[in-house]
Structure 1
Amino acid sequence: MKIRSLKNLTNAHNDSIWAVTWAPATADRGALLITGSVDESVKLWKGDELELDRTNTGHSLGVVSVAAHPSGTVAASTSLDSFVRVFDVDSNATITTLETAPSEAWLIQFDPKGEILAVAGGGSGSVKLWNTNNWRMEVPLTLPQAEASEGRSSEKHSGSGKFVLAVAWSNDGKRLACSTMNGVVAIFDAVRGKFLHTLEGHSMPVRSMAFSPVDTRVLFTVSDDKHVHMYDVESRSLISAFSGHASWVLSVDVSPDGSCLATGSSDRTVRLWDLNMRAAVQTLSDHSDQVWSVAFRPPGGDGVRAGRLASVSDDRSISLYEYT
Structure 2
Amino acid sequence: MKLAGLKSIENAHDESVWAVTWVPATETRPPLLLTGSLDETVRLWKSDDLVLERTNTGHCLGVASVAAHPLGRIAASSSLDSFVRVFDVDSNATIATLEAPPSEVWQMKFDPKGNILAVAGGGSASVKLWDTNSWQHVATLSIPRPEASQATKPIDKSGSKKFVLSVSWSLDGRRIACGSMDGTISVFDVARAKFLHHLEGHYMPVRSLAYSPSEPRLLFSASDDGHVHMYDAEAKTLVGSMSGHASWVLSVDVSPDGAALATGSSDRTVRLWDLSMRAAVQTMSNHADQVWGVAFRPPGGTDTRAGRLASVSDDKSISLYDYS
> What TM-score do you get using the length of structure 2 for normalisation?
0.96
In structure 2, distance between residues paired with 1:28 and 1:147: 54
Instruction: Give 5+ residue unaligned stretches, structure 2.
Output: 151-156
Q: 1:199, 1:236 within 8 Å by CA — same for their partners in 2?
A: yes
1:30 aligns with 2:35: no
Q: 1:293 to 1:160 in 2, by over 3 A?
A: closer
Q: Write the mapping of 1:154-233 to structure 2, written as runs, cut at 5 A.
A: 161-233=161-233
Question: Corresponding residue for 1:154?
Answer: none
Question: Corresponding residue for 2:76?
Answer: 76
Q: 1:252, 1:263 within 8 Å by CA — same for their partners in 2?
A: yes
**Percentage of pairs with the same residue:** 69
Using the TM superposition, give the Cα deviation of residue 176 of structure 1 relative to its aligned residue in structure 2, in angstroms.
0.2
In structure 1, distance between residues paired with 2:123 and 2:160: 8
Q: 1:144, 1:158 within 8 Å by CA — same for their partners in 2?
A: no
Specify the code of the residue in structure 2 equivalent to 1:226: G
Which secondary structure state, in structure 1, belongs to the residue aligned with residue 162 of structure 2?
A: coil
> What TM-score do you get using the length of structure 1 for normalisation?
0.96
Give the length in aligned residue pairs: 318
Using the TM superposition, give the Cα deviation of residue 2 of structure 1 relative to its aligned residue in structure 2, in angstroms.
1.2
Q: 2:161, 2:181 within 8 Å by CA — same for their partners in 1?
A: no
Aligned CA RMSD, in angstroms, stands at: 1.5
Question: Corresponding residue for 1:276?
Answer: 276
In structure 2, distance between residues paired with 1:281 and 1:318: 22
Q: 1:148 to 1:274 in 2, by over 3 A?
A: farther
Which secondary structure state, in structure 2, belongs to the residue aligned with residue 138 of structure 1?
A: strand
Question: Corresponding residue for 1:47?
Answer: 47
Using the TM superposition, give the Cα deviation of residue 116 of structure 1 relative to its aligned residue in structure 2, in angstroms.
0.4
In structure 1, distance between residues paired with 2:314 and 2:257: 29
Q: 2:160, 2:181 within 8 Å by CA — same for their partners in 1?
A: no
Question: Corresponding residue for 1:236?
Answer: 236
In structure 1, distance between residues paired with 2:178 and 2:96: 24
Using the TM superposition, give the Cα deviation of residue 149 of structure 1 relative to its aligned residue in structure 2, in angstroms.
8.6
Question: Corresponding residue for 1:135?
Answer: 135
In structure 1, distance between residues paired with 2:255 and 2:202: 23
Q: 1:142, 1:158 within 8 Å by CA — same for their partners in 2?
A: no
Q: 1:206, 1:223 within 8 Å by CA — same for their partners in 2?
A: yes
Using the TM superposition, give the Cα deviation of residue 147 of structure 1 relative to its aligned residue in structure 2, in angstroms.
6.5
Using the TM superposition, give the Cα deviation of residue 192 of structure 1 relative to its aligned residue in structure 2, in angstroms.
1.0
Q: 2:161, 2:180 within 8 Å by CA — same for their partners in 1?
A: no
Higher deviation after alignment, 298-307 or 262-271? 298-307
Instruction: Give 5+ residue unaligned stretches, structure 1.
Output: 151-156
Q: 1:162, 1:180 within 8 Å by CA — same for their partners in 2?
A: yes
1:87 aligns with 2:87: yes
Q: 1:34, 1:42 within 8 Å by CA — same for their partners in 2?
A: yes
Q: 1:170, 1:176 within 8 Å by CA — same for their partners in 2?
A: yes
Specify the code of the residue in structure 1 equivalent to 2:169: W
Question: Corresponding residue for 1:118?
Answer: 118
Q: 1:168, 1:178 within 8 Å by CA — same for their partners in 2?
A: yes
In structure 1, distance between residues paired with 2:65 and 2:148: 33
Question: Corresponding residue for 1:307?
Answer: 307
1:99 aligns with 2:99: yes
In structure 2, distance between residues paired with 1:300 and 1:176: 25
CA deviation vs aligned residue, 1:150-190 (integer Å, no higher than 9, x gap): 9xxxxxx9957420111100010000001100000000001
